Structure 1
Amino acid sequence: MSARGLIVSAPRSGAGKTTVVLALISALSRRGIRVKAAKAGPDYIDPAFHEAATGRQSVNLDSWAMPPALLEALFAEAAADAELIVVEGVMGLFDGIEAPRGRSGATADLAARFGLPVLLVLDVAGQSQSAAALVRGFAAHDPEVKIGGVVLNKVGSERHLRLVSDAIADLGVFVLGAIGRDASLALPERHLGLVQASEHGDLDARFGRLADLAERHLDLDGIIAIASVPRLGPAQGAVAVRPPGARIALARDDAFTFTYPHLLSGWRRAGAEVVTFSPLADEPPPEDCDICWLPGGYPELHAGRLATAHRFRDGLTRFAATRKVHGECGGYMVLGESLEDVDGVSHAMAGLLGHSTSFAKKMLHLGYREAHLLADSPLGPEGSTVRGHEFHYASLAATGNDRPFAEIKDAQGQMLGRTGGRRGNVTGTFFHAIASV
């Protein structure tokens, strides 16, 4: 393996990691370097931007939800056809949950496990020499986590840049870029994060501007120079979630976009075939499949179209009469009786489960989850455990009377109760699966 890698992180969320990553990978791809990107933690949206910028599939790496062998296997797979791997961190570098060392979900876990240097993005608005104290603290906090260099963001002037850079230089840490204050670089956001890559008609132009910014304001050669060969361990027995069928009908369009690449690639490696269809185009699940999977996404933005997609809904009902159907988060909402949008308008859904959901009063449900399955299901056999997360603003307006799908705990092991529903061949839950335990 010849690929080298580095991690782009920051002291906190909102410091500019995504802008730096997209600028970096866009510029290096334009230079003809085989770049792959990865994302620390559970995230669907950033990896789609990575893939659009590089033309190569991104991957999630989650030290809490994924067993160590799976982490090793996914990183090795990414490195197999790349020259450089750029891992985008999550939250602040050391931010995670209370867990055994190396299993907290923090970006620092990945830096220590794979021996990768960290390119630290500092938002220096409102400070100058004090930034050096921050860098000193991050460099000394964990001897297994190496700060390879820093990029300064929101620099106000040449004098500001000089003050900050001179103070950091005294620490022996390289300043490998400085970006000014430019609101036009920001990507638009929605309630689950950035507006999705597929919704930007000008994405190539944005990447071009970001690549130009990187060429002007980042030391690209210096950043490449700090990257190191990853330290990989054994990957025997690596598995995420076993394929739920031999031929899987996967809903995929603007309402159903949240599928983890490592799940799909794992299913295909195990011999399963994934066949996509579009509910928004009023397509039913293909009849020659043995399971239908409705992933998460933004069905609330398309509830009116889904309510009138009668070929899709009738076909889904026929499919569920003889074969398994599973819905995650947005897919779970569509399986219910109705979905109330943000304006308070209720739209009829598939009615294959008895619950109803609402966005009229948004409430954030966010966090890692460990699910103990209460019956055989597409996620695994009864009694098995799957780790994943919840991230949604929808609430249950009516719970229905279906049998529960799973018992769930949070990352600290606190029991959160029973969740989801199952009726006949149909199962669903707000829980997004990442990996079996």
Structure 2
Amino acid sequence: MTDFPKGLMISAPSSGTGKTTVMLGLLRALTEDGLTVQPFKSGPDYIDPAFHFAAAGRASFNLDTWAMDGALLDAVTTQAQGADICIGEGSMGLFDGVATRGQSGFGSSAETALRMGWPVVLVIDVGGQAQSAAATALGFKMYNPDLPFAGVILNRVASPRHDRLTRLGMERAGVTVLGSLPRRGDLALPERHLGLIQAVEHPDLEAAIAGYAAFLRENVDLEAIRAVARTAAAPTPRALPNPPA
């Protein structure tokens, strides 16, 4: 698939770190810049794709390496034809999956990123820590050397001093910082798991997404994000790896 648009995966060490806020802001900001952006969701989640559609104006599709075999995954990826860039959103933590193989793999976001050739951008909640956050980032960077690791977006940064200290740790660990988001309680989405809040039920979703996009423009290097996507490899069918023993 040589004409397949390149992309990246937005993931995190765990749920609740703010990756969906980053995802929606990024989708909208890149769309505002004139790009046709194809969203994807790693895993079986049916709530987030509706939010993706609201942000990008283009239907989002699930990529599930546990439930889908290679042929189905290939078929789903054809939905990106005509797009300029793909942005995938991970589920849970980057390496979290089920305990046993399904038709294909274990269903982790890392598996999806590997199969799609997408570098990973890790959203890290640095609340309550500074240089120690670099140890988390470094562990994720080194856990699977085959997985392209582009860098991190720091979330919930308390102050300029907090930002400087956290960046010092990342620099020491050799981890690229692509953005630093100040702590703002008004940017949190209502809880969405188990269908509690769906896109059509958000009280003012359009204003919220526009706010996320403006926030990312102020605090994330969008050109660096686009450059990360340009380093992506083409999607290639591959044997999915076993998790470490």
Could you say whether these structures have the same fold, taking a TM-score greater than 0.5 normalized by the shorter chain as the test?
yes
Is the alpha carbon distance of 1:87 and 1:194 closer, same or farther for their aligned partners in structure 2, counting shifts above 3 Å? farther
**Aligned partners of 1:124 and 1:91: how far apart in 2?**
17
* Paired residue type of 1:86: I
Tell me whether 1:65 sits opposite 2:67 in the alignment: yes
Describe how 1:395-410 pairs up with structure 2 within 5 A: none
Higher relative contact order (CA 8 A, sep 6+): 2
% identity of equivalent residues = 49
Runs of 4 or more consecutive aligned structure 1 residues displaced over 3 Å after TM superposition:
99-102
**Aligned partners of 2:227 and 2:85: how far apart in 1?**
11
Structure 1: 5+ residue runs without aligned partners?
235-437
Aligned to 1:177: 179
Q: Deviations over 1:68-89 (max 9, x none)?
A: 12112212x1321111111000
**Aligned partners of 2:155 and 2:192: how far apart in 1?**
23
**Aligned partners of 2:133 and 2:41: how far apart in 1?**
26
Q: Deviations over 1:48-106 (max 9, x none)?
A: 0001111100000000000112112212x132111111100000000112235960010
Aligned to 1:168: 170
Q: Deviations over 1:20-45 (max 9, x none)?
A: 10111111111111111110111111
Aligned to 2:86: 85
Deviation at 1:160, TM superposition (A): 0.5
Aligned to 2:191: 189
Aligned to 1:214: 216
Aligned to 1:232: 235
**Aligned partners of 1:148 and 1:99: how far apart in 2?**
29
- The counterpart of 1:139, out of the listed 138, 141, 146, is 141
Describe how 1:375-394 pairs up with structure 2 within 5 A: none
Deviation at 1:190, TM superposition (A): 5.5
Secondary structure at the aligned position of 2:40 is classed as strand
* Paired residue type of 2:166: V
Q: Deviations over 1:275-295 (max 9, x none)?
A: xxxxxxxxxxxxxxxxxxxxx
Deviation at 1:191, TM superposition (A): 6.1
RMSD, aligned CA: 1.7
Is the alpha carbon distance of 1:32 and 1:71 closer, same or farther for their aligned partners in structure 2, counting shifts above 3 Å? same
Query: How high is the TM-score relative to the length of structure 1?
Result: 0.51
The structure with more helix, counted as a fraction of residues = 2
Aligned positions, number: 233
Q: Deviations over 1:335-357 (max 9, x none)?
A: xxxxxxxxxxxxxxxxxxxxxxx
* Paired residue type of 1:59: F
Moved more, 224-233 or 105-114: 224-233
Aligned to 2:17: 15
The structure with more strand, counted as a fraction of residues = 1
Q: Deviations over 1:99-147 (max 9, x none)?
A: 3596001001012222210000000001111111111111111111121
Query: How high is the TM-score relative to the length of structure 2?
Result: 0.90
Instruction: Select the structure of larger CA radius of gyration.
Output: 1
Secondary structure at the aligned position of 2:38 is classed as strand
